[in-house]
Amino acid sequence: MTMKLHGLVAATHTPFLSDGGLNLAAVEAQARHMLRNGIKNVFVGGSTGESHSLAVDERLALVQRWSEVVRGTDLRLVVHVGSNCLADARTLATHAQVAGAVAISALAPCYFKPKSLDVLIACCADIAAAAPDLPFYFYDIPVLTGVHFSMPEFLAVAPGRIPTLAGVKFTNPDLMAYQRCLQAGEGRFDIPWGVDEYLLAALALGAAGGIGSSYNFAAPIYLRMMAAFSRGDLATARAEQYRSVQLIELLASFGYMAAAKATMGFLGVDIGPARLPHANLTMEQGSRLRTSLEQLGFFDWIRT
């Protein structure tokens, strides 16, 4: 597969109503916001999308709505279809293909974890086969799944069993392994970087794109950083990356998911609360977060 996820790919939030139900009406506002901020690819239903807190029917409805909203725009839809239940993952993969996604991705099963690389590849092959016309990306995020296998070894073995394998969404700070993935198969694979606050380091090693949550609300910071890097202005690139570090550290101090969704609200894109087991901000915390973002300079940083 020749699919390439270059540039910024926003890992979108799932919008909820105050009672915890899906708010599919908010997807259009999310899409408009992405386009205004230079985002051309969205990654729907992943970690940022709280996929493991959604029922299968909700995930299908969310993807269906995104597919309707992006039609006729410059946005491309990438769908996370991973699940602890492979039958559900296959259902999601097939639906993504019918809905017009350009690629699918899947986390490893993480309750009953694959005990070997061979078993992990078998799981991925099972999922990918349900969408035979779509490029497949394995989503490596061991800090959340607890599944730790060598991605360079995965790329050496998996292509023979996953014909649609396009690459790996590499959400792992192991830059040595990342370099090996970039070189695997004589550079044939697409390896979008998945740790926003390390993006500059990945660019220096050859990354051409990244998939991340903070691109929802801070894309201008990263676009300036990437532009500075491409013209050799490392001082500016480092300064922009440090803004990312400060922003993510601030949000994490409040509870990252809830703070990130609140930040989207501050930007005029109301996507509601996070769903349990994520906690949400109190009114007082939300007020303190906004004040802290103002003091940090965030609202000036993201002006386009």
What is the set of active-site residues?
139, 169
User: Residue 54, SS3?
Assistant: coil
Enumerate helices (H) and strands (E) in the chain, giving the number of each: 13, 7
How far is CA 108 from each of CA 80, 86, 127, 141, rounded to the nearest angstrom? 11, 10, 11, 9
Which one, of 246, 276, 274, 270, lies nearest residue 258 by Cα? 274
CB atoms closer than 10 angstroms to residue 91: 18
- Looking up tokens 């946005």, which residue turns up? 75
Q: Report the DSSP beta bridge partners of residue 43.
A: 11, 78
The sheet with strand 7-11 has its strands ordered as 165-170, 136-140, 103-107, 76-80, 41-44, 7-11, 209-212
Please state at what angle helix 234-254 crosses helix 215-230, rounded to 10 degrees.
160
Please state at what angle helix 86-99 crosses helix 117-128, rounded to 10 degrees.
40
Phi-psi region at 11: left, alpha or beta (left = phi > 0; alpha = psi -120 to 50): beta
